[in-house]
Amino acid sequence: MGFFDKFKFSRLKEGLSKTRDTFQENLSKLTKGRTEIDEEFLEELENILVSADVGVETTLDIVDRITEKAASETYRSEEELNGMVMSVMQEMLLDTAEEHPADFEAPLPSTPYVILIVGVNGAGKTTSIAKLAHNYHKAGKKVLIAAADTFRAAAVEQLRIWADRAGVPMVSQGQGADPASVVFDAVSSAVSRQADVVLVDTAGRLHNKANLMAELSKIMRVARKKVPEAPHEVLLVLDGTTGQNAVAQAREFSKCVDVTGLVVTKLDGTAKGGIVLSIARELHLPVKYIGVGEKIEDLQIFEREKFVEAIIGRV
């Protein structure tokens, strides 16, 4: 592991410290002095996983896998029990939707590569766009942001501040403008400037799904007038601190638009980072990025093995 990889893993561990500390403390108590798996162990493990917001369905899946392993394997120490729990959680994530391991430096399938960002207000959508822009820009890509959340008065100005921090241009028309018109201008500008990536902010109104669906559909139709394959990705931003509500939001948004991947934010602010496992397992959508801090550098590509290792580690 190179220096930069070690730094990223260190930031990941730091960002997940609340989840890890709670999980490790409980798991350490559970495995202390044990060398076998019995009904009491499984019941306590269920409680630990549920308290980390892993979710009931995912918890039962993990426990079933552990029960199956216990029937054919023996464990001689606490360390082996901890290792087994970690390996089962990693296996479960590997069975979910395809991972997104590509670095921001990787070549794009086509340009301009249009990414639609959706999510409810307050989920961290604006900061996630800025962090994506920062990472692509730092990787040498020409990035443009489309401020198509014209419903909220402060949305455009908030995004402008973050765009300035990321060092990338932004196309906007102000509050009340037609979002599709903003996107058309932005995509047209991206084509003329030979930009590599277009990040499109959208309104986060989920209470009226019919209007949301109509707006997103119009945005996509307009974008396709300039880039026929657009949008190439639809990323749904979810607030990790909201737990199972994030899963419910994802289901609702998936009814409105073809979500291709997830961004789970604010994992540094919760002891229930296990929600990522629940999201991946229950929604069958790839978690592509996770937010582990407030700094513009604190958006990481989601790597399943590293994520589980950062939560469990050596107990």
- What is residue 108's predicted lDDT score, i.e. its pLDDT? 93
- What is residue 101's predicted lDDT score, i.e. its pLDDT? 56
What is the distance between the alpha carbons of residues 59 and 235, in angstroms, rounded to a whole number? 26
- What is residue 5's predicted lDDT score, i.e. its pLDDT? 65
Structure tokens at 180: 């599709």
Q: 3-state SS of 60-76?
A: HHHHHHHHHHHHHCCCC
CATH of domain 113-303: 3.40.50.300
Q: Tell me the per-residue pLDDT of 68-119, one tens digit each, with 9 for 90 and over.
A: 888 887 777 777 877 788 788 777 776 665 656 568 999 999 999 999 999 9
Task: Look up residue 170 and give its amino acid.
Answer: M
Same fold flag, 3-94 and 113-303? no
Angle (deg, nearest 10), helices 209-226 and 179-193: 30
> From the CA atom positions of the chain, what is the Rg in Å?
21
Residue spans of the domains in the chain: they are 3-94, 113-303
Split at pLDDT 50, 70, 90, the class of 213 is: confident
Split at pLDDT 50, 70, 90, the class of 172 is: very high
Q: Which fold has domain 3-94?
A: Four Helix Bundle (Hemerythrin (Met), subunit A) (1.20.120)
Going by the DSSP 8-state scheme, the letter that residue 87 receives in this structure is H
Q: What are phi and psi of 123, to 5 degrees?
A: -80, -15
What value does the mean pLDDT take over residues 172-194?
Answer: 94
Q: What are phi and psi of 190, to 5 degrees?
A: -65, -40
Taking 50 as the threshold, does the pLDDT of residue 4 lie above it? Answer: no
